[in-house]
């Protein structure tokens, strides 16, 4: 702490502000209205106060309450807004500013704030108040999100979980190995406490947001048994190889929405980003999950691979379409600070666009050898429309999920997904802060 700041300071931690009431980033038709990182800190360091996605006037009013420290949790594309928030905090006499989350990896941040937190910060923040929080003692908070099949209409409430930190892989575009380098799991007792809360409030579906679900076999076995005991259905993101190894068990224990970081269906492109994944694994995943009743499969892919021109990028998308996922999320390969991709492109002065708002996986910000930014924008829009046709989504995806689920689970799928889910979603306030 800076000299002169109290040994028991008033600390406010906040996200970026909203410009208008519904200005939330939407991820897979679920608006990001809560901050998992801030919720974890508040659950484990109750002395702090958190402010999630306020309007500007709410943020400015909160500052007037007087704070020794104001901290910001943000992503790369939000840095301009955080700069404005930092200036306002300084003008109101805040003596120390902090920065955390993936945006804090940017090289400009140390000049903007007084302290930068990289990775989970429960213990670091607790030390400000004179105590420690060991990794094995970190408690899981309540976090929920409203999911919509049709954007804007609440379909169900997802119970969010973050059960394991870190990733053993080192894909060239990913910041996780730098940001979350210390790998560990969250204790199961605190997770079960949250599951009981979700169950009590009508939540039927869980979304573990782990970078790669299942990398800790013994822990994951206990966790999925717990999911099954409380009769949850769940969504998880992992690698095709891990899904295939555990598919029968996980499906029996409630897995219904597996999502895979495919990135590309051309092996040379996967090798170029150090994905350590084979296209044959993706095809085998699709074949085996197709046989499982009630599953809705999501792919995450990227365009902008260095070895592909526009025609080859369209061919890659065509191969992905044939793989027969039910829904697709497509992004443009983007170099983020401290990744191997950033280091490589920076060394050759290939990054021409440093505008923070463009770092949201929708813009080409570096000199691609074959494709211009305008062409990449066209490819993104065209490929998204080809992969996510309304007919395929409704006819194949939803029918697989509902009618396959009916054959697998019986009439309970109608109650869970068409009746209980929407009713519970209408009454659940996902923004409400609940701590134990």
One digit per residue, the tens of pLDDT, for the chain of length 436 reads 444 466 789 999 999 999 988 888 877 667 889 999 999 999 999 999 999 999 999 999 999 999 999 999 999 999 999 999 999 999 999 999 999 999 999 999 999 999 999 999 999 999 999 999 999 999 999 999 987 766 666 778 899 999 999 999 999 999 999 999 999 999 999 999 999 999 998 888 999 999 999 999 999 999 999 999 999 999 999 999 999 999 999 999 999 999 999 999 999 999 999 999 999 999 999 999 998 888 889 999 999 999 999 999 999 999 999 999 989 999 999 999 999 999 999 999 999 999 999 999 999 999 999 999 999 999 999 999 999 876 666 666 566 666 566 666 766 666 666 666 677 777 788 899 999 9
CB 205 within 8 A of CB 234: yes
The 8 Å CB, 24+ separation contacts for 255-259 are 255/224, 255/295, 256/205, 256/294, 256/295, 256/296, 256/401, 256/405, 257/205, 257/295, 257/296, 257/297, 257/298, 257/401, 258/285, 258/289, 258/295, 258/297, 258/298, 259/235, 259/297, 259/298, 259/299, 259/300
Q: What are the backbone angles phi and psi of residue 91, rounded to the nearest 5°?
A: -65, -25
Distance CA 84, CA 356 (A): 13
User: Which domains, ranges and CATH numbers included, belong to the chain?
Assistant: 11-136 (3.40.50.2300), 144-427 (3.80.30.20)
β-bridge partners, 328? 299
Query: How do 49-51 and 11-14 pair as beta strands?
Result: parallel
pTM for the whole structure? 0.92
């Amino acid at each position: 702490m800076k000299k002169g700041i109290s040994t028991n300071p008033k600390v406010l931690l906040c996200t970026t502000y909203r410009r208008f009431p519904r200005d939330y980033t939407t991820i897979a038709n679920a608006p990001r209205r809560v901050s998992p990182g801030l919720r974890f800190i508040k659950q484990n360091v109750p002395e702090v106060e958190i402010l999630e996605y306020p309007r500007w006037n709410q943020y400015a009013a909160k500052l007037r309450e007087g704070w020794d420290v104001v901290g910001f949790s943000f992503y790369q594309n939000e840095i301009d807004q955080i700069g404005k928030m930092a200036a306002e905090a300084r003008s109101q006499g805040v003596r120390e500013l902090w920065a955390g989350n993936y945006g804090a990896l940017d090289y400009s941040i140390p000049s903007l704030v007084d302290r930068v937190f990289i990775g989970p910060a429960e213990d670091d923040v607790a030390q400000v108040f004179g105590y420690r929080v060991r990794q094995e003692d970190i408690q899981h908070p309540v976090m929920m999100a409203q999911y919509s099949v049709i954007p804007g209409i609440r379909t169900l409430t997802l119970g969010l979980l973050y059960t394991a930190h870190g990733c053993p892989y080192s894909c060239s575009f990913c910041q996780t190995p730098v940001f979350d380098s210390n790998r560990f799991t969250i204790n199961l007792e605190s997770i079960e406490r949250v599951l009981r809360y979700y169950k009590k409030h009508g939540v039927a579906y869980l979304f573990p947001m782990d970078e790669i679900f299942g990398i800790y076999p013994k822990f994951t076995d206990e966790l999925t048994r717990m999911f099954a005991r409380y009769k949850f259905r769940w969504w998880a993101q992992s690698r095709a190889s891990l899904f295939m190894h555990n598919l029968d068990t996980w499906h029996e224990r409630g897995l219904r929405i597996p999502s895979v970081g495919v990135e590309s269906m051309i092996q040379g492109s996967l090798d170029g980003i150090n994905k350590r994944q084979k296209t044959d694994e993706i095809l085998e995943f699709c074949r085996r999950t197709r046989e499982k009743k009630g599953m809705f499969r999501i792919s995450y892919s990227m365009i902008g691979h260095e070895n592909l021109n526009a025609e080859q990028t369209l061919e890659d998308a065509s191969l992905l379409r044939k793989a027969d996922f039910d829904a697709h999320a497509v992004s443009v390969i983007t170099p983020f600070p401290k990744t191997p991709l950033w280091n490589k492109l920076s060394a050759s002065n290939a990054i021409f666009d440093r505008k923070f708002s463009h770092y949201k996986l929708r813009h080409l910000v570096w000199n691609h050898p074959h494709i211009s930014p305008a062409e990449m924008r066209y490819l993104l829009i065209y490929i998204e429309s080809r992969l996510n046709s309304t007919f395929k989504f409704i006819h194949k995806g939803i029918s697989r999920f509902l009618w396959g689920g009916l054959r697998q689970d019986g009439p309970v799928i109608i109650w869970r997904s068409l009746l209980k889910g929407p009713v519970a979603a209408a009454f659940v306030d996902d923004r409400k802060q609940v701590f134990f």
